[in-house]
Structure 1
């Protein structure tokens, strides 16, 4: 594996890289979610956007509920503001989830656990109790890169807030571990390019919630270093429906292509599992590493609501720069 050099990308580029990396990875994988590998192979594999729709008067590649929920988290954090504590921020994020769940745009096959949590929130249930204890899917991991942006210079705090916010929709330890690992990994990748450090911080973040998820991330690292291990075998084993599998499979793709956004994301989405979530998580971490300049311009231009995503990324950057969230250096 490569990835030992420090990448010279400024914070604005990195924040935009996470925002667009999430959405683009999601959109690349969205059309083939639920497809088998033979079905994906029959399409010639995913090499570019497979689906374009007229959205807001423009032909664009649609993303799924993954990016919609990621946007809801980041909007919630921005509305809560720098001075909000975890409780205040979680309540604001929960409010954004309720709004999203009732939106006519919520027609992208949202997960059952996410919708159940939103219904419980809307009925007045406290956010720490709205998610089902047995829910261990990847629905919280796929949106937790927002905490990596917010606390870009504090990966441990990013992991803590992500792991706690998971309770809104998912109560199982593996879901909390997966979300914590994604947030910590994204935060670390924004500020540092040392690949072993990325792995360590994700493993440790997961370990705070679930030892088996932490071990799976260690296994991912081992597989990625072994050139005899084929990506197709890893992605068939870890299909990504569970929180632990989604993060382990995504980390594998990041480690195999630590400086190449296109290769990493395309490897992630050519999967017989939760292709859009694998694409979103892989895209977020690679976007954090290489920044917006490391992502294909045509993918940026053709993604759904590209101008809204640019505006969201700029607001997030301005906030963490001016308000010194995470200690800008």
Structure 2
């Protein structure tokens, strides 16, 4: 567990005071704070979800954990992740850590290095069954990749399956942190990494869009009704590989207008429009989801990316300055709450910064000093090319 009560705070204070500017919208200090907050927010969301993961019967969830889950919890016997302890990471957190280590040690995304780590560090611990491996459970997309890579001995690039889930988003959020100021590199690297485990183009588009949103938040933009317009400007500039089929402000094309000069890899830009619709819902006085954990009922409890991303965007917009409320409402909604909390934690951590994450959540995270150092090392690269 956390080895020093003030350890991570001290390390972070040293980190942000070592020669960086102070103050200002785009100061290095603020960039590093937001970038580290995104990574630690994801790790915290993962660990919070370990105990109450995958309860689709909310009365059963309340019976086992009470009316409100407010901290890390042990998984119950005979449920997912049984045998692990409060504050530990699931396999999603394990893989995210592998990604962060690869980015830090190589200075950026190198597919060969990440794949080597999967081959050498994760796959020897798997046997192709669900209740197995680090974290006590292996997701569908990783099981399928293991079968293709280990049993069928296929090359990387031939290993992606059809899972419509968020496993790729949960690890490539670290790529978004690294390339927050290079959306073109961000998109290429995230799309490349996504296809290693998931071949569906819709999943890839939504995963790249999530990374692009996270990148803008690390830059210092708000998750509000104008964010999607900023993303669409990146499409027009060629930085994001989406095909735009309408004009400014989603106006229809006029007779005689040429097709957009740059056809994107992804046929529709809709994944880039989702965040601002969720942000609009979060501030509209006529649209109230109360309590906010019921976002899981509104957008859906299952594991598919099209259920989870709208909920994460909504919570991250509504609680943009309140990390604890955002991740706890993500957890208390049940269903695939672990992934919901990872994605929400990264988005909100990028807005509050590491300095805005409650110390008790850092203290309760297993091996948080190691994770914190990795997060800060990656954060130091966030503003570089």
Inter-partner Cα distance in structure 1 for 2:364 and 2:329 = 20
> When the two structures are superposed, what TM-score results if normalisation uses the length of structure 2?
0.71
Distance 1:51 1:193, change over 3 A: farther
Inter-partner Cα distance in structure 2 for 1:243 and 1:315 = 29
Distance 1:90 1:244, change over 3 A: farther
* Structure 2 gaps, min length 5: 1-23, 77-84, 127-132, 243-264
Match of 1:51 in 2: 74
> When the two structures are superposed, what TM-score results if normalisation uses the length of structure 1?
0.82
Match of 1:150 in 2: 178
Per-residue deviation at 1:201?
5.4
Q: Which has the larger share of helix?
A: 1
Deviations 1:119-175 (A, max 9, x none): 42345423222111x221111112221011110212343233112211111111232
Match of 1:136 in 2: 164
Per-residue deviation at 1:311?
2.2
Inter-partner Cα distance in structure 1 for 2:193 and 2:330 = 25
Q: Does 1:37 align with 2:58?
A: yes
Map residues 151-190 of structure 1 onto 2, 5 A cutoff: 151-190=179-218
Match of 1:25 in 2: 45
Report the aligned-residue RMSD. Answer: 3.0
Q: Which segment drifts farther, 231-240 or 184-193?
A: 231-240
Instruction: Decide whether the 8 Å contact of 1:147 with 1:159 is kept in 2.
Output: no
User: 3-state SS of the aligned residue for 2:316?
Assistant: helix
Inter-partner Cα distance in structure 2 for 1:272 and 1:200 = 32
The count of aligned residue pairs is 309
Q: Does 1:96 align with 2:117?
A: yes
Match of 2:317 in 1: 255
Inter-partner Cα distance in structure 2 for 1:52 and 1:293 = 29
Q: Does 1:209 align with 2:266?
A: yes
Match of 1:56 in 2: none
Match of 2:282 in 1: 224
Inter-partner Cα distance in structure 2 for 1:201 and 1:128 = 32
Match of 2:91 in 1: 65
Instruction: Decide whether the 8 Å contact of 1:77 with 1:92 is kept in 2.
Output: no
Match of 2:36 among 10, 16, 23: 16
Per-residue deviation at 1:115?
2.3
Per-residue deviation at 1:6?
5.6
Larger Rg: 2
Match of 1:242 in 2: 304
